[in-house]
Structure 1
Amino acid sequence: MTNKIIITCAVTGSIHTPTMSPHLPVTGSQIAEQAIGAAEAGAAILHLHARDPETGKPSASSDDFMSFLPVIKQASDAVLNISTGGSAVMSLEERLAAPIAAEPEMCSLNMGTMNFALYPLASRYQDWKHDWEQPFLENSDDLVFKNTPRDIATVLTKLGQERGARFEFECYDVSHLYMLRHFADRGLVKAPFFIQFVFGVLGGIGADPENLQHMKRIADKLFGDEYMFSVLAAGRQQIPFATMAAAMGGHVRVGLEDSLFIDRGKLARSNAEQVIKIREIVERLGRDVAEPVQAREMLGLKGADRTAF
């Protein structure tokens, strides 16, 4: 399957707020509809956060997750990848409540504590739909996204060793690759490693092409042929970086969590629209888009029948 490329779609996330786009899914039915559409367009993995259906605020509630997880599973064979990052303002206990209850095939895992600065976004908008949005963004100038070694070990133990989940290791900087190597050496995680290189978040590594090349070199050094890499880039760098990743033999992630746009100044109407765009690009590069069953085989997943939803 060396030519197979896994497309991940991150459907809603916890960064963008309802004011920023009328197309950002908020309710359970909206998240399910957009997730299913993205899967039909070619996404083998759906990366999922929940939101309060009334306010659109990021939610850690198991009930909010369960309002869409069974619906998506019934309508699609895609791999459902539940965030353990939640939102940077949540405690680890809050972030893990839904994944522990759902016992998914796959979870995301942030590989280090970092600044997670969203406040530049606040200056772009004047009229807010909800009163939580502006302070949520502005207060991120004093926000630390806590992912200590103890936190990471807790996630690996509770979701990996105890519940059989595999991980999308989100690496926002080179140091996060070394942290993953540390936990592999401790025996808490085993190959194959699915590493998501994350670019363009203020507080993490910048969205510069040479940084992608450097992350790949260091990952090669640390993990040899025991890993696969995928790439996401925030905002306007989403499609250019995904294209570079595909050309380098990697996998790709798109979705409204990472960018609200489909072209310069034009909001994406759905997650599926972004999946369709990147699928056309990667196929023109000669890559074959992986089906969910192939992604499961490549990543060594336990199977959808062993989840708790």
Structure 2
Amino acid sequence: MAKIIITCAVTGGAHTPSMSDALPITPGEIADQAIAAAEAGASILHLHARVPETGQPTGDPAVFAQFLPVIRQRTDAVVNLTTGGSATMKLDDRLAAAARFKPEMCSLNMGSINFSFHGAGRRIETWKHPWEKDYVLGSDDFIFRNTFRDIDRIMATMRESGTRFEHECYDVGHLYNLAHFVEEGAVRPPFFIQMIFGILGGIGPDLENLMFMKGTADRLFGRDAFQWSVLAAGRHQMPFLTQAALMGGHVRVGLEDSLFIERGRMAVSNAQQVEKIVRILREMGHEPATPAEAREMLALKGADRVEF
């Protein structure tokens, strides 16, 4: 594959303001970093929102409305809105922005998992906001819920708008969950599988696991039915993405997934991570896919059919 889709996950819902000054919090910061990431080579922008004053994850469409039109005006990148939000949100809150703005893509977790990042709190000595400490250290008790009924509801809500999904698979069982919806006719090719490694509660970041996940997907769906991408959490990000690209996969970077640019050095922006993976891909003879090429590969409806 000559062209690789680069997704940039700009802020997420797990990392908190005390963990990195580079993490975008306000609508202006999210817009600026998303646009810079697109200019650096990202063709898909995966977006969450934050309460501007505190940095808490929020599903409030009014906050999304402060940065989505800016991003659309200043870049042609595909906008991919979260339906995951954070593990503390109810489904209605997680789904509200996607249902309101009808983007080209949404993320969709393909099952329920334990989802913990409490270890990241051990290195924080001073917290910027009162909510952060309990949220981070208490994540060892988080279950991210997405039952079959939840997944079906998200798909049904977005179906009429023509929105397609980034099917997030945190473990091999999630591929089988996706296969169930394919068999039911709820998911049609070409679909986009995001294989996720290194989250505490999901499959580990081992090369054997990457090969097993890809082989399982090939066996379940056939190689021509789907496009696949990989993200890896924290320090595993760049090495694992390099392995995925060598196997013909697409890649996802961003401060949602890792706050670092290399071991022991924190990233200064999302764009810095995009620039690094672009350099790695080019050394291997690949080029970043343009937004138009990503839309063609993923059979997306086009930016003219969103509602922001």
Give the TM-score taking structure 1 as reference length.
Answer: 0.98
Q: Deviations over 1:45-81 (max 9, x none)?
A: 0000000000001011101111110000000000000
Secondary structure at the aligned position of 2:130 is classed as coil
User: One-letter code of the match for 1:207?
Assistant: P
Query: What corresponds to 1:223 in structure 2?
Result: 221
Query: What corresponds to 1:171 in structure 2?
Result: 169
Count, aligned residues:
307
User: One-letter code of the match for 1:181?
Assistant: A
Query: What corresponds to 2:182 in structure 1?
Result: 184
1:127 aligns with 2:126: yes
TM-fit CA distance, 1:137: 1.0
User: One-letter code of the match for 1:190?
Assistant: R
Secondary structure at the aligned position of 2:231 is classed as strand
Query: What corresponds to 2:93 in structure 1?
Result: 94
1:54 aligns with 2:53: yes
Query: What corresponds to 2:71 in structure 1?
Result: 72
TM-fit CA distance, 1:228: 1.1
Partner Cα distance (1:121, 1:50) in 2: 21
User: One-letter code of the match for 2:217?
Assistant: A
Q: Deviations over 1:275-297 (max 9, x none)?
A: 00000101111112100001001
Alpha-carbon RMSD across the aligned residues, in angstroms, is 0.7
Q: Deviations over 1:217-249 (max 9, x none)?
A: 100101112111100000000001110111100
Query: What corresponds to 2:191 in structure 1?
Result: 193
Secondary structure at the aligned position of 1:55 is classed as coil
Secondary structure at the aligned position of 1:132 is classed as helix
User: One-letter code of the match for 1:163?
Assistant: S
Q: Deviations over 1:83-142 (max 9, x none)?
A: 000001100011001110000000000000010011111111110000100100111121
Residue 203 of structure 2, aligned match among 202, 205, 209: 205
Partner Cα distance (2:113, 2:262) in 1: 30
TM-fit CA distance, 1:3: 2.0
Matches of residues 266-285 of structure 1 in structure 2 within 5 Å?
266-285=265-284
* Same amino acid, percent of matched pairs: 60
Which runs of structure 1 show a deviation greater than 2 angstroms over 4 or more consecutive aligned residues?
A: none
Partner Cα distance (1:307, 1:209) in 2: 38
Query: What corresponds to 2:31 in structure 1?
Result: 32
User: One-letter code of the match for 2:143?
Assistant: V
- Structure 1: runs of 5+ lacking an equivalent: none
Q: Which moves more between the two structures, 115-124 or 81-90?
A: 115-124
Partner Cα distance (1:285, 1:111) in 2: 31
Partner Cα distance (1:151, 1:157) in 2: 10
User: One-letter code of the match for 2:187?
Assistant: V
Contact kept, 8 Å, 2:231 with 2:257, in 1: the verdict is yes
Secondary structure at the aligned position of 1:198 is classed as strand
Secondary structure at the aligned position of 1:201 is classed as coil
Partner Cα distance (2:52, 2:265) in 1: 25
Q: Which moves more between the two structures, 147-156 or 258-267?
A: 258-267
1:143 aligns with 2:142: yes
Contact kept, 8 Å, 2:278 with 2:287, in 1: the verdict is no
Q: Which moves more between the two structures, 281-290 or 293-302?
A: 281-290
User: One-letter code of the match for 2:226?
Assistant: Y
Give the TM-score taking structure 2 as reference length.
Answer: 0.99
User: One-letter code of the match for 1:76?
Assistant: T
User: One-letter code of the match for 2:49?
Assistant: A
